[in-house]
Amino acid sequence: MLQVPFIRQNKALVLERLALKHFKELEVVEEVLALDDKRKKLTLDYDETQARVNSLSKEIGKLMAQGQKDEAESKKSEVSELKQQLQPINDELNTTEKLLHNTLVKLPNLPAASVPPGKTPEENVEVRGGGTIPALHANAVPHWDLVKQYDLIDFELGNKITGNGFPVYKNRGARLQRALIQYFLDYNTNNGYVEFAPPYMVNETSAYGTGQLPDKEGQMYHATVDNLYLIPTAEVPVTNIYRDEILKDSDLPIKMTAYTPCFRREAGSYGKDVRGLNRVHQFDKVEIVQLVHPEKSYDVLEEMVAHVEALIQSLQLPYRILRLCGGDMGFASALTYDFEVYSTAQQKWLEVSSVSNFETYQTNRMKIRYKDGNGKPQLVHSLNGSSLALPRILACLLENNQAEDGIHIPPVLQSYFGAGKIS
């Protein structure tokens, strides 16, 4: 969530950066400032009225001590009238503060200076890439056919049990899924991340803290009786671990990782681009999250990008890294890098990870702070990334490693999977 003083002091910059993000409701900025002006006036009115009440109350005490009862009664009458004025002012102040907050959360995070202009995914900027696109044998097929051939995933069974977009992994497909999760977690913990196993449902406050509410409520599954949300990513519960806490400067950086299933409604998704594992409603993902000193967050972002890049390289998959343009960025992000892996059988790039710096947007909502050198609380910066999301990684691993004699497992996974090939 943006901070009102920053908006007031940098109005032109705020409008310029919001325009880069193609935010259409720029009038919200003026609404925020107008409500803040009203809040300030009401606060002043309340404080001045309360100060007058306090001053008269002291005078009444002195008058009573001096035996001037008539004068004291006159002051008491004035105090009574002033107290009657206080409650309406306070009520209007509370209403204005709530309206200011509800208006402020409509504003997305400002994109960083390095975010390129553009509105569509085609305008994202390729930073670098690596790996070799394999030459497949003549009978190679996409993963949705390949998993049937080797009895790895049953999409129809998932549809029977739950509905479309809930695949059932089975036999060696389930084992490969488990091997990937364990490898990703080991890779992260070996690089200094502390593992957590968080809940898969969160309350409204947690969903608000990371920016899922009020922006993405339509994309989350909502258990209405208990007012809980199934998590769309481990980012939500993991970042909220430190909500409402003041950390020591020496505590930073805080590095966390977690495996969770993720649940996304993906309303309106259909067609060939979402076939098989390309887009599902439940999927597994290993996440990394960092809470860092504000001056170091962009260095940490590059470190996290390099961390994910090395993980993809270890799987021997062809990849590219994109810096997202303003119009393709998430609501809460200040800068995002997307990782895409090439699916040779589908002849297309598939997104497998996003690594983002949120600066203070999330931590302001969650009030995650640290004490600076002067002992003054300051907001930390939060970052997260997929390390990695499994469905499309699995799809590309299967497709790119298929051969006439079976599906070859990358060397780094063989000890986790227990074999070098699926045949």
Rounded Cα gap, residues 54 and 48, in angstroms: 10
Number of Cβ within a 10 Å radius of residue 260: 23
Per-residue pLDDT of the chain (423 residues; tens, 9 = 90+): 899 999 999 999 999 999 999 999 999 999 999 999 999 999 999 999 999 999 998 888 888 888 888 888 888 889 899 999 999 999 999 999 999 999 999 999 999 999 999 999 999 999 999 999 999 999 999 999 999 999 999 999 999 999 999 999 999 999 999 999 999 999 999 999 999 999 999 999 999 999 999 877 789 999 999 999 999 999 999 999 999 999 999 999 999 999 999 999 986 555 556 789 999 999 999 999 999 999 999 999 999 999 999 999 999 999 999 999 999 999 999 999 999 999 999 999 999 999 999 999 999 999 999 999 889 999 999 999 999 999 999 999 999 999 999 999 999 999 999 999 999
Backbone angles phi, psi at 248, to 5 degrees: -85, 150
Question: Which pLDDT belongs to residue 251?
Answer: 95
Indicate left, alpha or beta for 398 from its phi (over 0: left) and psi (-120 to 50: alpha).
alpha
| pTM metric for this prediction | 0.93
- Where do the domains of the chain lie? 4-104, 121-422
Full 3-state SS string of 25-77: CCHHHHHHHHHHHHHHHHHHHHHHHHHHHHHHHHHHHHHHHCCCHHHHHHHHH
Q: Which CATH topology does 121-422 take? A: BirA Bifunctional Protein; domain 2 (3.30.930)
67-101 pLDDT, tens per residue? Answer: 888 888 888 889 899 999 999 999 999 999 999 99
Residue 149, H or E segment: helix 143-150
4-104 has CATH 1.10.287.40 classification: yes
